[in-house]
């Protein structure tokens, strides 16, 4: 082994690898302390990305053991990367999610891949040489049984993750009053990064079939992975964590997530017994117990106060008020804000401070809610009220 080389190609990958290792440890510690399953999966994603770059990082540093003597050790993370991304998203959107035996099937391909590679490696050089010449060299099993399926696996799981996120964004306003704060826009950027990395990996692999790319040219794809490690580790670790977020819904319910148009809401109301009675009960509980002042009020909490089921309550709100749960609760908050904003005893408070008194928990959520309910910005609403 010669001297370790620290050229530009190696340093870019090395810095990303070190940062990924540090954040992996931080995530594992936080996952253990706070019993946060999603952090384990995010740590796995970062680790997989680091392993994807490891042999190339060492190669540019002049260390070629993973590409020579130990080349048959499992280094491809394609079979594990997709499931890690998918389950990271699932466990973030459902803080009570627990793994079952059924979930284990998603990780079975990677398990089989690791067992097969480790078994052949432990058999010695003769077994590795036979596998390389007969199976890889003549039958091309590496392409048909490993590389192609692993790339397909990544793309399939990324599509599943994107669909899950879309379903969540449609579901959120029907279940949470703090929907704007739980949009998880980070996931949108996260998935874009994942699709870019997967797409470039496939593109570079396809290009190598037709063009003889140099190590420096292939390094570009590894540098993109390094950039992804930087972004994912920092943004993912600092992503605010929700409390009691329980998104879990079968695909067949996707069509019922958005509130119906007014004409369909009227038709739906005919199928709900005692709609006016339920409408009055909801209004009474909201006004008497002032549940809208809870920043993280959920449909489940309101359903518990009314001793009914969340699905039934959601249907009643849609049919009786023509709104989803989020808009319905924010209407109470905006009306309360208008009252408090003209209260002489509260004139020493800023508009944002008054908004927090009304159940809002962020400036952006407050501004969007006022605009959605009244069509005006908060300052415009106050000036209009004073003019009247």
Per the prediction, the chain carries an average pLDDT of 86
Q: Which of these, 86, 51, 269, lies nearest to 161 by C-alpha position? A: 86
Burial class from Cβ neighbours inside 10 Å (0-12, 13-18, 19+) for residue 343 reads exposed
> Which range has the worst mean pLDDT, 143-152, 198-207, 249-258?
249-258
Answer whether residue 191 is part of any domain.
yes
CA-nearest of 335, 332, 366 to 351 is 366
Does one domain contain both 203 and 264? Answer: no
Q: By the 8 A CB rule, do 216 and 67 touch?
A: no
At 348-357, the pLDDT tens digits run: 888 889 999 9
Is 335 found in the same domain as 280? yes
Q: 261 pLDDT exceeds 60? A: no
Query: Which pLDDT tens digit goes with each residue over 21-37?
Result: 999 999 999 999 999 99
Give dist(CA 121, CA 117) in Å, integer. 6
| Mean pLDDT for the stretch of residues 32-49 | 95
CATH of the domain at 297: 1.10.10.60
243 within some domain: no
Minimum mean pLDDT among 18-27, 318-327, 372-381: which range? 372-381
- 348 backbone dihedrals φ, ψ, rounded to 5°: -80, -10
Q: How far apart are CA 160 and CA 251, in angstroms?
A: 11
Percent of the chain with pLDDT over 70: 91
Whole-number Å distance between alpha carbons of 343 and 3: 75
Q: Which of 202, 204, 209, 199 is nearest to 220 (CA)?
A: 204
What is the average per-residue pLDDT within 252-266?
Answer: 45
How far is CA 275 from its chain centroid? 37
Within a 10 A sphere around the Cβ of 220, how many other Cβ atoms? 11
Residues 300, 355, single domain; the answer is yes
Where is the domain boundary, 237, 265, 281? 237
Model confidence at 67, pLDDT cuts 50, 70, 90, reads: confident
Report residue 267's pLDDT band, with 50, 70 and 90 as the boundaries. very low
CA distance 68 to 349: 69
Q: Is the pLDDT of residue 270 over 60?
A: no
- DSSP for 281-345? HHHHHHHHH-GGGSTT-BHHHHHHHHTS-HHHHHHHHHHHHSS-HHHHHHHHHHHHHHHHHT-GG
Count of structural domains within the chain: 2
Residue 371 domain-assigned (yes or no): yes
pLDDT for the residue numbered 127: 87
Range of the domain at 261: 251-387
- Tell me: do 300 and 330 sit in the same domain: yes
- Above 80 in pLDDT, residue 358? yes
Over residues 115-132, the pLDDT tens digits come to 998 998 999 888 888 888
Q: 55 or 2: whose pLDDT is higher?
A: 55
Tell me: pLDDT of 235 over 80: yes
Angle at 117 between CA 147 and CA 2, to 5 degrees: 90
Domain limit, last residue, from 186, 205, 237: 237
For residues 382 and 384, give the distance between their C-alpha atoms in angstroms, rounded to a whole number. 5
Residue 1 has pLDDT above 90, yes or no: no
Per-residue pLDDT of 93-102, as tens digits, reads 998 899 999 9
Q: Does residue 60 lie within any of the structural domains?
A: yes
- 208 and 136 in one domain? yes
- pLDDT at residue 377 in the model: 83
Whether residue 268 sits in one domain with residue 184: no
Q: Is residue 102 part of a domain?
A: yes
Statement to judge: residues 197 and 121 lie in one domain = yes
Length of the chain: 388
Given a cut of 80, whether residue 324 has pLDDT beyond it is: yes
Please give the Cα distance from 366 to 218 (Å, whole number): 48
Name the band, by pLDDT with cuts 50, 70 and 90, for residue 242: confident
Q: Name the band, by pLDDT with cuts 50, 70 and 90, for residue 51.
A: very high
Q: Are residues 86 and 229 in the same domain?
A: yes
Query: Residue 125's pLDDT is what?
Result: 87
State residue 351's pLDDT score: 87
pLDDT, mean of residues 209-219: 83
Task: Write the CATH number for 39.
Answer: 1.20.1070
Report if residue 2 sits inside a domain.
Answer: no
21-30, 129-138, 177-186, 299-308: range with lowest mean pLDDT: 129-138
Do 186 and 273 lie in one domain? The reply is: no
Q: Is residue 3 part of a domain?
A: no
Region 41-68: what's the mean pLDDT? 91
Residues 6+ apart with CB under 8 A from 13: 53, 56, 57, 60, 222, 223, 226
Residue 313 covered by a domain:
yes
Are residues 224 and 313 both part of a single domain? Answer: no
Model-wide pTM > 0.85 = no
Hey, CA dihedral for 19, 23, 24, 26, is it positive or negative? positive
- Whole-number Å distance between alpha carbons of 149 and 350: 58
Axis-axis angle for helices 215-237, 8-34 (nearest 10): 30
Which residues face 246 on adjacent strands?
Answer: 94
Distance CA 341, CA 355 (A): 9
Task: With beta carbons less than 8 A apart as the criterion, state whether 301 and 291 touch.
Answer: yes
Task: Please indicate, yes or no, whether residues 97 and 172 belong to a single structural domain of this protein.
Answer: yes
Q: Which of these three, 237, 267, 292, is where a domain ends?
A: 237
The residues near 243 (Cβ < 8 Å, ≥ 6 apart) are 95, 296
Q: Examine the domain organization and report whether 69 and 210 are in the same domain.
A: yes
**222: Cβ–Cβ under 8 A, 6 or more apart, which residues?**
13, 52, 53, 56, 57
Q: State residue 365's pLDDT score.
A: 87
Please report the pLDDT score of residue 341 as a whole number. Answer: 83
Q: How far apart are CA 310 and CA 298, in angstroms?
A: 10
């Amino acid at each position: 082994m010669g001297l370790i080389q620290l050229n530009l190609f190696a340093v870019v990958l090395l810095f990303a690898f070190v940062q990924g290792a540090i954040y992996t440890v931080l995530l594992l510690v936080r996952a253990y302390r706070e019993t946060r399953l999603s952090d384990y999966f995010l740590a796995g994603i970062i680790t997989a990305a680091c392993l994807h770059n490891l042999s190339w990082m060492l190669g540019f540093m002049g260390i070629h053991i993973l590409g020579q003597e130990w080349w048959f050790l499992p280094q491809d993370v394609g079979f594990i990367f997709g499931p890690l991304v998918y389950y990271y998203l699932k466990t973030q959107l459902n803080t009570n999610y627990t793994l079952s035996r059924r979930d284990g099937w998603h990780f079975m391909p990677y398990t089989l891949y690791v067992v097969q590679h480790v078994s052949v490696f432990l058999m010695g050089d003769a077994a590795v040489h036979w596998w390389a010449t007969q199976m890889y060299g003549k039958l091309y099993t590496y392409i048909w049984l490993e590389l192609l399926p692993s790339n397909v696996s990544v793309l399939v799981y990324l599509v599943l993750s994107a669909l899950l996120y879309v379903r969540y964004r449609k579901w959120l306003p029907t279940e949470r009053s703090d929907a704007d704060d739980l949009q998880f826009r980070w996931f949108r950027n996260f998935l874009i990064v994942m699709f870019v990395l997967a797409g470039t990996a496939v593109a570079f692999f396809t290009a190598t079939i037709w063009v003889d790319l140099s190590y420096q040219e292939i390094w570009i794809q590894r540098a993109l992975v390094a950039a992804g490690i930087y972004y994912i580790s920092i943004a993912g670790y600092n992503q605010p964590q929700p409390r009691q977020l329980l998104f879990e819904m079968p695909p067949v319910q996707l069509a019922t997530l958005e509130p119906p148009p007014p004409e369909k809401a009227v038709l739906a109301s005919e199928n709900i017994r005692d709609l006016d009675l339920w409408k009055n009960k909801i209004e009474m509980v909201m006004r008497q117990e002032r549940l809208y002042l809870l920043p993280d009020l959920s449909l489940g909490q309101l359903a518990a106060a009314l001793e009914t089921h969340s699905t039934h309550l959601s249907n009643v709100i849609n049919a009786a008020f023509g709104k989803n749960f989020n808009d319905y609760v924010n209407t109470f908050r905006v009306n309360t804000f208008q009252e408090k904003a003209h209260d002489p005893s509260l004139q020493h408070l800023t508009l944002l401070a008054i908004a927090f008194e009304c159940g809002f928990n962020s400036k952006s959520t407050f501004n969007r809610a006022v605009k959605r309910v009244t069509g005006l910005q908060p300052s415009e609403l106050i000036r209009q009220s004073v003019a009247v």
